[in-house]
Amino acid sequence: MITSSAWSGKKYAVLGLARSGRATVEALLASGAEVLAWDSREEARAEFAGRVELTDPVDADLTGFAGVVVSPGVPLNTHPIKPHADSFGVPVIGDIELFAQARAELPQHRVVGITGTNGKSTTTALVHHILKTAGVPTTMGGNIGLPILEQEPLPKGGVYVLELSSYQIDLTYSLDCDVAVLLNVTPDHLDRYEGFEAYRASKLRLFTMQSSEGTAVDASSDPAVHEAILAIEGPGEITTLNPAAKDSDFLDLGNAQSLQGPHNAQNAYAAWAVAFDLGIDRPTVNSALASYRGLPHRMERVRELRGVSYVNDSKGTNTAASAPALAAFDNIHWILGGLAKEPGLGECEAELGHVKAAYTIGKAGPDFAALLEGRVPVEQCETLDRAVSSAASKAQPGDTVLLSPACASFDQYRDFEQRGDHFRELVEAQK
């Protein structure tokens, strides 16, 4: 694990004992810190009985504490922990901030931070894959993979590649990324922010924390975002990706079977910009693009049966995320619905020409059906098993059955992973 003498002898509270919370407690204890911890689940608390003080920090006297470490899932705008910690002058932080504090004692290394509303996981995994292909010691963490504090420190010359949500950036104050990437900013998670401008400002903080030695990569293709980045006194260099560059022959995307669609071209060019800044040559990048196999639930090709392709894009949890998946295929039998994040079809409107038929599920199913009626054949299926069965019975050779719900999953599933796993099981059961 990653430890630091910076935490030794200090007191920390940890709220939430899921994966990152457990890793945080272990790292703090191993570093000689005194820890107060809490989770609403008794079984999670039991793991640390006798090792930490098990008290809800919301009810604790936090005088003298160095920080309250919370899960990114804790809504700072509504949870009482933030005003309670503020009353004691104690910062509310996340495990990424602890990692930032530990960097001074790690072997010489570099950090890549990647944020954006959509495409973060793919770009993070792709940068990690390029570095591995180049023989560079690397690991990925943050919003992907193992908790960063649970991982072994990299040797000298290593590169930490971090996927960072706005929630994680909100809990970080000193993460100086050698390369920071912003992919895009579209309305999302607005229940946690006062509005879109506040959400965008959260993403931009990744650049404000950079020093003059850092490089900022603007892959947003958004003039307003670009102007905001130019106004930041942080990174010493700003790399702006031109949308027209996607048509360049500089990168060989023809052999990159797991990077189909214009959105993945953007992800690939963002990854190349990072690799270039880290000194990786073009042949190595192209070799890595060809061998990249993609991530589960992100335009994941599950199976081809009787000439019909089945694609799991359960990570499409908003319309902006699902639109690129629609753009990547033709003759689509589109399974959509769940817990809508915004009204309407959003960016999916422009891609309906790719849709042969639609099958709606979940709470938003009736609303989507009404929006699609008369534009594409639509069937209200309510549940995923019915949708897969119906789509499979109607699809013809050359068609694609695509789960890209444009919605959150929480009305019927624990998370988008469980939804995607269920889709995969249903597809594999088709005869």
Q: How many CA atoms lie within 13 A of 41 on its CB side?
A: 8
Q: Residues 6 or more apart from 201 whose CB is under 8 A from it?
A: none
The Cα 323–Cα 343 span in angstroms is 15
Strands 400-403 and 378-382: unpaired
Name every residue whose Cβ is closer than 8 Å to that of residue 247 and which is 6 or more positions away in sequence: none
Catalytic residue among 120, 128, 203, 297: 120
CA 178/CA 277 separation, integer angstroms: 9
Length of the chain: 431
Q: What are residue 217's phi and psi, to 5 degrees?
A: -115, 115
Residue 128 designated active-site: no
Which of these, 84, 92, 111, 88, lies nearest to 100 by C-alpha position?
A: 111
Lateral strand order in the sheet of 158-163: 138-142, 158-163, 109-115, 179-182, 215-218, 237-240
CA distance 294 to 25: 32
Distances (CA, A) of 209 to 26, 89, 139, 250, 289: 27, 21, 22, 31, 30
What is the DSSP-derived secondary structure letter of residue 107?
P
User: What is the pairing mode between strands 179-182 and 215-218?
Assistant: parallel
Q: How far apart are CA 380 and CA 106, in angstroms?
A: 55
Spatial separation of the C-alpha atoms in residues 123 and 163, rounded to whole Å: 9
Considering the candidates 189, 226, 246, 363, report the single residue annotated as catalytic.
189
Q: In the 8-state DSSP scheme, what is residue 363?
A: T
Which is nearest to 358 in space by CA: 343, 373, 346, 347? 373
**Taking CA 29 as the corner, what is the angle to CA 26 and CA 30, rounded to the nearest 5 degrees?**
80
The question of whether 120 is a catalytic residue gets the answer yes
Q: Which of 143, 264, 312, 318 is catalytic?
A: 143
Task: Reply yes or no on whether 143 is catalytic.
Answer: yes
Catalytic positions, written as ranges: 120, 143, 189
